[in-house]
Structure 1
């Protein structure tokens, strides 16, 4: 099966796959926003709503997916509010005609408010609880955050895609290579724990005065600050206040090494480059040119030159400090 092939994942195949594990949809399939995998919501004959996720072929091994599932289930057992896969006869990962899939309960809620300090403190508390569980053991099969994957391989993917025009190649690669070198020098090894890995506002729901963490598809090993820094926005003083608020809740459950504050901007730079590499790698999937058409335009690469220059400047600034 081709790495990018979802062509055979027809509605009939999806329904047959779901029914193969004893769940019988009564409603139609509502496609949810997911580019990496294929995700659908439906209502079954038990009057419950579910979400089914079909994994992108060749992205994760069975062992890596099952490790993610076990992590989610261990968090649920510790009463950390995450959405974990549903077990059927002790299994969470299923296969049907070459496609691997998982079932989740359907959950709802409002998007997390990044400028709400009460919600930020609650989030810090939840992430502290998550990290307390995460630190009890390590992943064996999931990847680790590192500069080779996030920077060097991403650069190779961008060049291999041939989406950079001759006009933009020199200015873009000049600042990209400068940023990569600066980031590699600034990023350092520190304590590694299991992480949510992609903890941004889009993966946090607010419902019934509680927060709910969703989508552990990118969980991996890395520094604890990875699950905190994406909540920071605004000027330096605002970021310091937001981080201080989160850590007030976080440190009720897990200690935090403040030396990791020096990793915030390197991690931001790594995420920027990795995102471009991800788009380039996935360009063969028809969903990507259709939804990210701007990625192949000179205007986009011009904007990235400016963004990378700004991030290079941020790497030269002193690390963020907490409010005394």
Structure 2
């Protein structure tokens, strides 16, 4: 549960010096923005609008993997999709300063979309259909591929091996995890062979800014390869009230790209993988002082009891038919 503390030397002076090393002139204002994985700041500029500086977590991605994120966002922008690609400065998008890697972005405003509205979900479906058409044009070489092993088995092994579960819950957790893996395997079999494409990867409402009746997608830090449904399910809500949202999303999506309905068998497996991966993500980052502050309940037995309850609910959901938007 230990490790070197990341970003420990990233004080306001170093942040400003890093930005100004690119020939820019800051006005001294630095405002930390909400981000746990990386460190993200609003930087006031003497000439022109404020910029956003994202400092990448040390050791998480290779330069090549970050380069693929940047290239993908530039491809999407070139296709007239509203994403926020990194700025090109001195011919580069990824910059290095005193052991830190960072990129600069335009500042964009907006609010989360209202997912209960048909016009909003149809619009989001259209945008994702266009995004996936770009994503299918070529593949990633250095980014992750979402799957049961990488986002389920590895996180479970980590949590058990590092002793995060209260001892009295370990056996139950391990048995439930094995049952979930078997049930997810069955769902993947029912889905059949699935086309993997480049995705946003973390397409929840907090990563979508809604402004002027348009969706503006931000933060491709988690872009990866996977099935198209990975970018859709978090916008459709829970099973009990998702029929209309799925229909509206796919109405827009299929304006630009066909959607294989068999992928709906993957909705609950992907929800399960997010649950497991998210808990392991917090555990792996616990040495970062920002995480105990943000997630003070994480070490409490009550949290792990809640996780087991959610795993039981997911095991039941994996046995049920997939969403039926038709």
Q: Which residue is 2:22 aligned to?
A: 21
CA RMSD of aligned residues (A): 1.4
Separation of aligned partners in 1, 2:184 and 2:123: 31
- Pick from 217, 226, 229 the counterpart of residue 225 of structure 1: 229
Q: Which residue is 2:271 aligned to?
A: 268
- Cα deviations by residue, 1:99-127 (Å, 9 ceiling, x for unpaired): 00000001001111111211110000000
- Please show how residues 249-288 of structure 1 align to structure 2 within 5 Å: 249-288=252-291
- Pick from 310, 315, 322 the counterpart of residue 312 of structure 1: 315
Count the aligned residue pairs: 321
Report the secondary structure of 2:96's partner residue: strand
Q: Which residue is 2:245 aligned to?
A: 242
- Pick from 212, 222, 225 the counterpart of residue 216 of structure 2: 212
Which ranges of structure 1 fall in alignment gaps of 5 or more residues?
A: none
Separation of aligned partners in 2, 1:168 and 1:135: 42
Residue 4 (structure 1) shift = 4.4
Separation of aligned partners in 2, 1:77 and 1:255: 22
Question: Which portions of structure 1, spanning 4 or more consecutive aligned residues, are displaced by more than 4 angstroms?
Answer: none
Q: Contact conserved, 1:54 with 1:102, CA < 8 A, in 2?
A: yes
Report the secondary structure of 1:293's partner residue: coil
Q: Contact conserved, 1:4 with 1:282, CA < 8 A, in 2?
A: no
Q: Contact conserved, 1:3 with 1:57, CA < 8 A, in 2?
A: no
Q: Contact conserved, 2:202 with 2:222, CA < 8 A, in 1?
A: yes
- Cα deviations by residue, 1:292-313 (Å, 9 ceiling, x for unpaired): 1111001101111111101100
Q: Contact conserved, 1:53 with 1:103, CA < 8 A, in 2?
A: yes
Q: Contact conserved, 2:69 with 2:220, CA < 8 A, in 1?
A: yes
Report the secondary structure of 1:123's partner residue: helix
Report the secondary structure of 2:46's partner residue: coil
Report the secondary structure of 1:29's partner residue: strand
Residue 163 (structure 1) shift = 2.4
- Pick from 291, 296, 310 the counterpart of residue 293 of structure 1: 296
Separation of aligned partners in 2, 1:103 and 1:269: 34
Q: Which residue is 2:48 aligned to?
A: 47
Further displaced range: 125-134 or 3-12: 3-12
Further displaced range: 123-132 or 188-197: 188-197
Q: Contact conserved, 2:4 with 2:287, CA < 8 A, in 1?
A: no
Q: Contact conserved, 1:175 with 1:309, CA < 8 A, in 2?
A: yes
Separation of aligned partners in 1, 2:255 and 2:115: 21
Q: Contact conserved, 2:16 with 2:28, CA < 8 A, in 1?
A: no
- Cα deviations by residue, 1:58-84 (Å, 9 ceiling, x for unpaired): 100000000100000011010011111
Q: Which residue is 2:199 aligned to?
A: 195
Q: Which residue is 1:32 aligned to?
A: 33
Q: What is the TM-score normalised by the length of structure 2? A: 0.95
Residue 167 (structure 1) shift = 2.6
Residue 181 (structure 1) shift = 2.6
Separation of aligned partners in 2, 1:201 and 1:229: 11
Separation of aligned partners in 1, 2:197 and 2:259: 12
Q: Which residue is 1:166 aligned to?
A: 167
Report the secondary structure of 2:102's partner residue: strand
- Cα deviations by residue, 1:216-262 (Å, 9 ceiling, x for unpaired): 000011000000011121443x3121111011111111111111111
Residue 47 (structure 1) shift = 2.9
- Cα deviations by residue, 1:36-74 (Å, 9 ceiling, x for unpaired): 000001220113111100000010000000010000001
Q: What is the TM-score normalised by the length of structure 1? A: 0.96
Q: Which residue is 1:122 aligned to?
A: 123
